[in-house]
Amino acid sequence: MLKLIKNFNKKEWCLVLISFLLIFMQVWLELKMPDYMSEITKLVQTEGSKIQDIIINGGLMLLCAFGSLLSAVVVGYFIANLSSSFSMKIREKLFHKVESLSINEVKQFSTNSLITRTTNDITQVEMLIGMGLQLLVKAPITAIWAVTKILNKNWQWSAITGVAVVILLSVIGCLMLIVMPKFKIVQKLIDKLNGVTRENLTGIRVVRAFNAEKYQEEKFEEVNNKLTKQQLFNQKAFAIMSPIMYMVMNGLTLAIYFVGSYLIRDALMVDKLSLFGDMVVFSSYAMQVIMSFLMLAMIFMMLPRAQVSASRINEVLDTEITVKDGTLDKNITDEVGTVEFKNVSFKYPDAEEYLLKNISFKANKGETVAFIGSTGSGKSTLINLVPRFYDATSGEVLVDGVNVKEYKQEFLYNKIGYVPQKAVIFNGTVTSNVSYGDNGKEKNELQIKEAIRVAQATEFVEKMDEKYDSHLAQGGTNISGGQKQRLSIARAIARNPEIYIFDDSFSALDYKTDSILRHELKKYTKDATSLIVAQRIGTIMNADKILVLDNGTCVGMSTHKELLKSCEVYKQIALSQLSKEELANEGK
Amino acid sequence: MKENKTPRRPGPGHGPGMAPAEKAKDFKSAITRLVKELKSFRVLIILSLFLAVSGSILSIFTPNILSNLTDEITKGLVVNEKNLKELSTSISSSLSEEKMNNVMQDVLQMNLSQSNIINIMSSPEISDEDKSNFQNIINNANNENMLKDISNLPDSILQILFKDSNYNDNLITTRDKILFLKSLNNKDNINIPNSIANIIFDDIEINNTNISKNDQAVFISLMGNVDENTKPQELYGKIDKMPDSIKKVIKPFMDIEKIKQIALFLLILNLLSAVFTYIESISMTDVANKFARKLRSSISKKINKLPLKYFDNTTTGDTLSRVTNDVDTIAQSMNNSLATLVSAITLFVGTTIMMFVTNWIMAITAILASLIGFIFMFMVLGKSQKYFVQRQEELGNLNGHIEEIYSGLNVVKAYNGKKESDKKFMELNKKMYNANRKSQFLSGLMMPMMNFIGNFGYVAVCIVGALLTMNGKISFGVIVAFISYVRLFTSPLAQIAQAMTSLQSTAAASERVFEFVDEEEMDNQTSITRVLDKTKVKGNIEFKNVTFTYDGNDNPTINNFNATAKQSQKIAIVGPTGAGKTTMVNLLMKFYEITKGDILIDGVPIKELSRENIHDLFTMVLQDTWLFNGTVKENIIYNRENISDDRIKEVCKVVGLDHFIKTLPNGYESVISDNDSVSAGQRQLLTIARGMIEDSPFLILDEATSNVDTRTEELVQKAMDKLTEGRTSFIIAHRLSTIKNADLILVMKDGNIIEQGNHDELMDKNGFYADLYNSQFEL
């Protein structure tokens, strides 16, 4: 938490300081008011006092009230500015940090978690600064100040106030101890309830096909009942808080008056009047003390949550970036469109097992190199080393003859057209999605239309209401998976890169589209180098070079025909997809 | 690390009651509906509302009683005027001029004999001036003030004039006489010696207390110089010095017994009100939560009664948010707002009445003072509404952008989209900052303004109260009461405003919940009596002129489709995406009702069969492998009963899952959760096992297109082959091997079956199918 607050700059610290002073003044004014109150009380009590005196005192009190309002408004303004600019700054910092994280680190945090950290967690911390900071300063000052004002007045009253504070705090404390852990249970149950409902909704066809409606309902009811029971317990326990609070506060006034009546009775005549005034004042100070303790209790409820949020934010901010940017931003070799792996091995930083072991190959300009293997064989990881989503643990990845680590990332990416396994669609139009990104070249309308055509997306795009300007929802929820994938491919084509990377990008397409697309692509990108990860033999059969991966090692590297003869793993994969005759036919 | 993401909806804003409520389309009918649904909780609700009202009424009376208490205490501050007056009159009557002159002569026995006069005049110790003064006095003898004049003479003269003497056998010394004389002349220093006091005062009895002559002397000596200008503080100081007997009589009287009674009464009221509040909130909590449970249940039940087409048009998130967010909003507002609203209104009305009953001038003062404040406040806050809306919007935009960039981070990086996204982020972040700043500032104003209104009311009440008190129109207690009234009066106004806002969102939430609950259900099936026994069904299916049109679509998705599937045949459905393959499945399973034509199972139209019956006849394995959070075993058994462990193991062996399950930490009892290491292929196998565990005559199989690694795919393939054995199977096929082996291939395009036949026949035709088939070998 403190670490985050260090992000304040000088001007902001100034604001904080001024706010502190203003809060100080506010407390002073607020505590001054009871003095006027007592003065007014005394004046009203004694016969023969002049109405002017009352009005003067009342006016002074109002002045105090107005002054405190004014300083509260100013403080509120400062704090609102402070907390919003704080959250803006942290959000920005976090956003930039996340952008520069490597895919591996993103995976470790999980995207969802990173999103909540950038949104909810920051809001939590912001709220603490917005409300908490004021309270955190005001409550103790008020408490201490009011206590000192009270203490030398009368020990009996002080004792009563003390008892009241202790009762309140212990009730709150007990409740916290009992109920707080249960809140976590409630959260879990809500998640579970959500889970069961989601399950029923996403599997609605299965549920119906199995006539399992009753089964699901019972499952839901079980969680529903548990949740209701837990909620009832929590809320009923909490229900005791407000009556006790009011009882203690009202009781405190009553007790002060009651004890006061004895004190007044036994006092000397001279002291009676001032004692009565003291009593009235004391009861209002006592309220202030109680209120400030309640405020403190509130902060202590808020603090842990904000603390957790703060540490989650810091966790991201403190993550060391493993993929560091290089400096090279121009070509220094004559090679164009080559990708070479030299003895590349890769493992996750903390892992023991290598995911890739001693991979070496070279893709020359215009060549298509394909990678195949079962899940977990490392083919996706391998291909992700080129755009530096990960960095090789040992060995070298060279693009155009230069180690990728030496390139400025922006420069490197301008050479690459990357199509991920899961198509990414941004909120925007078809055109804005296809022309996405910056590769140092202008993309005109014609190029974009051409890219869409090559990616076999023209037909469905033209069927859409606004054609190329049709709106696409975030995540592309308004188009199908195959359509998303085609647009995602079009995006890579529009960049006109030296090197294409297809990370299992064709699997969402049906065979026919897949085939036509690859055909068109080949025609369009004659000079470009392609790296393709695929599941289907059909997709890669005609590649110039096929690397067969098994458990991170390369068990075969050759053409389809050769591999069928020489590589057992490849043969198995091929046989599972195509019949023998088909495999034999293929050459024709 | 793992977050549960519930659908986002503009949540509550910063300040209480400040965020703009989501407005219901029809507030009145939504609330009416809500009330209707709450009927079964009537008793508890009425009880708690009654308690809330009672609690408020109790708190309305408290200030008045507190004011009584204060009045009682105040009595302890005021001197017993009556007794004081009685005492002073009787004492001053003892000191009347007449009595003085009469008695004093005898008491003092002033010796103005010639010899004394000569003594004085010749005394060397007396100054000439004093001597001439003395001369003057003597010359003016018979003057009424002679005694006074004499007392001004110096002691040296007086000592000669007054000698010790006896009066009624009491010795009165010269000193006493001189002291007495001096007292006559100097009000500030009255000191009546006992010997003389005994003579001039008579015992007085006030309220059964005897005040001795000496005490009276002390009284007179203390009170001698008291007049209208004497400050009360001074007067009270003198009273403290009085002898006990007098103190007892004139001291302020505080009726401790009565105070005790009032305090006890207040304590009881306080306790009672606390108990009321507690019972009220407990019963309201009970109602709210049980009602929430009921609502959730009915949504859950409803999910399974809705036609599938409903879910085509709504997202999972939408329904989920009704189950959680909306129900929660309703429960929360019932828990907090309902009772608050009722008690706040009671408090508001009650306080207003009580104030007018107590004192109408003060009442008007209090109401005016707080209303001015409130009007001002609402003016400020009314303007702030738009900032809250703006803040919610900006937050939504910003979060949307963050979500988009984070989830597409690899693309953002690889396409150098960072600059673009940064620019947009900065812009959104700045906008968010501005909206946030304004809305936070304005919502932060609420509390200080409330405080100020409270203080303003306080001062107004005090000043007007003081004026009235001075005119003797009201007692101090009334002011104390009004100080509380102002507080009681201002707080419900804010509460009512707050409760109304939350009522708004409740109405909107309940509208959404009931909208779902009232959604049109699937056709009633009670009239269906035909049942096909799955053990006796042969497995023939006939499609007869089947046409199906989705709601709202002009063109039929399936158009005049005819086909026959015989017992144990394998029917493959192929075609490009969007050709209507899934729709066929939906029609077979009676998820949708056929628009025209008929599907016959063993000659029986499915219209005459219940959905449950049809589902019973089919085993369905879908492409999206649906597993739930539970153990492997639970996922395989699912809702079937009486499945032995052996049967499960057998099925898993057949499917080829056995080995995989053995590698799991807890075998069949291992829990499968979302982000597990269970691969897509293994998931597929699990769903196949689930389908296989019970025999049915028909099978519907949707092959997975992607994300299955090749080795597992082989297993899946084998498992699927096993699954199709001996059943009439419909397979949405992606694998050529599957297609080639099919007895019948239905080639679909744009909702029509454009070709049908087996592989060889279709290849010979050299049409769409042949084209499709060959495409996979090209690059």
What does the pLDDT look like over A131-143, one tens digit per residue? 777 777 888 888 8
Q: Are A34 and A64 in contact (CB under 8 A)?
A: no
Q: Is the dihedral of CA B465, B470, B472, B473 positive or negative?
A: negative
B671 in Cβ contact with B630 (< 8 Å): yes
| Domain assignment of residue A502, yes or no | yes
Q: Which of residues 178-237 of B touch A (CB under 8 A)?
A: 232-233, 236-237
Residues of A in contact with B228 (CB under 8 A): none
A152 at the B interface (CB within 8 A)?
A: no
Q: How many CB atoms lie within 10 A of CB A242?
A: 13
Number of Cβ within 10 Å of residue A329's Cβ equals 12
Q: Which of B732, B739, B730 is nearest to B772 (CA)?
A: B739
Which phi and psi angles does A361 have, rounded to 5°? -165, 170
Q: What is the pLDDT of residue B712?
A: 67
Query: Which pLDDT score is estimated for B776?
Result: 57
- For every residue of B279-309, which 3-state class applies, written as one string? HHHHHHHHHHHHHHHHHHHHHHHHHCCCCHH
pLDDT band at A224 (very low <50, low <70, confident <90, very high): very high
Name the domain boundary from A317, A347, A366: A317
Name the residue facing A217 among B304, B311, B408 (closest C-beta). B304
Q: In chain A, pLDDT over 90 holds for what percent of residues?
A: 1
Domain that residue A509 falls in: 422-535
Window from A581-585, B141-145, B553-557 with minimum mean pLDDT: A581-585
Model pLDDT, residue B677: 59
Q: Which chain B residues are Cβ-neighbours of A211 within 8 angstroms? A: 612, 615-616, 639
Mean pLDDT of A363-368: 82
A265 touches chain B (CB under 8 A): yes
Size of interface A-B (CB pairs under 8 A): 481
Q: How confident is the model at residue A128 (pLDDT cuts 50, 70, 90)?
A: confident
What is the per-residue pLDDT across B183-194, written as a single tens digit (0 to 9) for each? 776 666 677 777
Cβ-defined contact of B285 to A236 (cutoff 8 Å): yes
Nearest-CA distance from B139 to chain A in Å?
A: 48
Residue A269 lies in a domain: yes
A508 touches chain B (CB under 8 A): yes
pLDDT digits (tens, 9 = 90+) for A433-453: 887 877 656 667 777 787 888
CB contact at 8 A, B70 and B476: yes
Residue A408 lies in a domain: no
Q: Which residues of A touch B476 (CB under 8 A)?
A: 41, 44-45
CATH of the domain at A476: 3.40.50.300
Q: Mean pLDDT score of chain A, rounded to an integer?
A: 80
Residue B578 with chain A: CB contacts under 8 Å: 480
pLDDT tier at B19 (50, 70, 90 boundaries)? Answer: very low
On whether residue A173 sits in a domain, the answer given is yes
Closest CA to B219 of B253, B258, B251, B192: B192
Q: Is the pLDDT of residue B585 over 70?
A: yes
Q: What is the pLDDT of residue A229?
A: 92
Residue of A215, A257, A545 best to disrupt the B interface, most CBs of B under 10 A: A257
Q: Is pLDDT of B41 > 70?
A: yes
Across the interface, whether the CB atoms of B417 and A438 are under 8 A apart is answered: yes
- Tens-digit pLDDT profile for residues B409-418: 878 878 887 8
Please give the pLDDT value at position A228. 92
**Confidence band of B17 (pLDDT split at 50, 70, 90):** very low
CA distance B483 to B600: 84
Query: Residue A283: is its pLDDT beyond 70?
Result: yes
Q: Are A167 and A46 in a shared domain? A: yes
Of A112-121, A326-335, A385-394, B707-716, the one with minimum mean pLDDT is: B707-716
Query: Which chain A residues touch B300 with a CB distance below 8 Å?
Result: 197, 200, 216-217, 220-221, 224
Work out the pLDDT band at B680, boundaries 50, 70, 90. Answer: low
Q: Is residue A543 part of a domain?
A: no
Q: Hey, is the C-beta of A52 within 8 angstroms of any chain B C-beta?
A: no
Of A130, A209, A437, the CB nearest to B417: A437
Q: Which residues contact B734 (CB under 8 A, 6 or more apart)?
A: A510, A511, B703, B704, B705
- DSSP type of residue B560: E
pLDDT band at residue A45 under the 50/70/90 scheme: low
pTM for the full model? 0.73
Mean pLDDT, all residues of chain B: 78
Residue with more model confidence, A46 or B744: B744
Amino acid at A34: P
Are A143 and A287 members of one domain? yes
For residue A498, being part of any structural domain is answered with yes
A306 and A439 co-located in one domain: no
**Interface subset of B 368-387, CB within 8 angstroms of A:** none
Q: Within 13 Å of residue B520, how many CA atoms lie on the same side as its CB?
A: 5
3-state secondary structure B125-178: CCCHHHHHHHHHHHHCCCCCCHHHHHHCCCHHHHHHHCCCEEECCEEECHHHHH
Give the distance, in angstroms, between the CA of residue B724 and the centroid of all CA atoms in the same chain: 59
CA B200 to chain centre: 76
List the single range of A100-104, A190-194, B420-424, B541-545 with lowest mean pLDDT: A100-104
For residue A210, give the chain B residue with the closest CA.
B615
Q: Please report whether residue A584 resides in a domain.
A: no
Q: What's the whole-number mean pLDDT along residues B608-625?
A: 81
Which stretch of B424-428, B477-481, B541-545, B614-618 has the lowest confidence by average pLDDT?
A: B477-481
- Cβ of residue B77 closer than 8 Å to a chain A Cβ: yes
Is domain B570-579+617-775 annotated with CATH 3.40.50.720? no
Interface touch B402/A84, C-beta < 8 Å:
no
Whether pLDDT at B518 is above 60 = yes
Q: At which residue do the structure tokens 């079956």 appear? A: B753
Contact B626 A221 (CB under 8 A): no
Which chain A residues have a beta carbon less than 8 Å from that of B611?
Answer: 208
Read off the CATH number of the domain in which A184 is found: 1.20.1560.10
pLDDT in tens, A539-550: 777 788 888 887
Q: Is B379 exposed, middle or buried (0-12, 13-18, 19+ CB in 10 A)?
A: exposed
Q: HSE of A39 in the Cβ direction (CA atoms, 13 Å)?
A: 18
Under an 8 A CB cutoff, do A264 and B73 touch? yes
> Could you tell me if residue A7 is inside a domain?
yes
Q: A378: nearest CA in chain B? A: B709
On whether the CB atoms of residues A460 and A488 are closer than 8 A, the answer is no
| Count of domains for chain A | 2
**Higher pLDDT, residue B763 or B230:** B763
- The predicted pLDDT at position A225 comes to 93
pLDDT of amino acid B10: 38
| Boundary residue ending a domain (A283, A317, A351) | A317
Residue B68: its pLDDT value, please?
80
Please tell me the distance in Å from A162's CA to the nearest CA on chain B: 19
| Shortest Cα–Cα distance, A515 to chain B (Å) | 6
Where a domain ends, among A511, A535, A559? A535
Q: Give the per-residue pLDDT at A587.
A: 43
Q: Tokens 């040296």: give the residue.
A: B156
B:91-150 residues touching chain A, CB 8 A cutoff: none
Which pLDDT does position A226 carry in this prediction?
92
Question: Among partner residues A95, A206, A516, which is closest to B775 by beta-carbon distance?
Answer: A516
Which of B97-106, B448-457, B460-469 is predicted with the least confidence, judged by mean pLDDT?
B97-106
**Mean pLDDT (whole number) for B508-530:** 81
A203 contact B CB<8A:
yes
Question: What distance in Å separates residue A383's CA from the closest CA in chain B?
Answer: 13
Min Cα separation B485/chain A (Å): 14
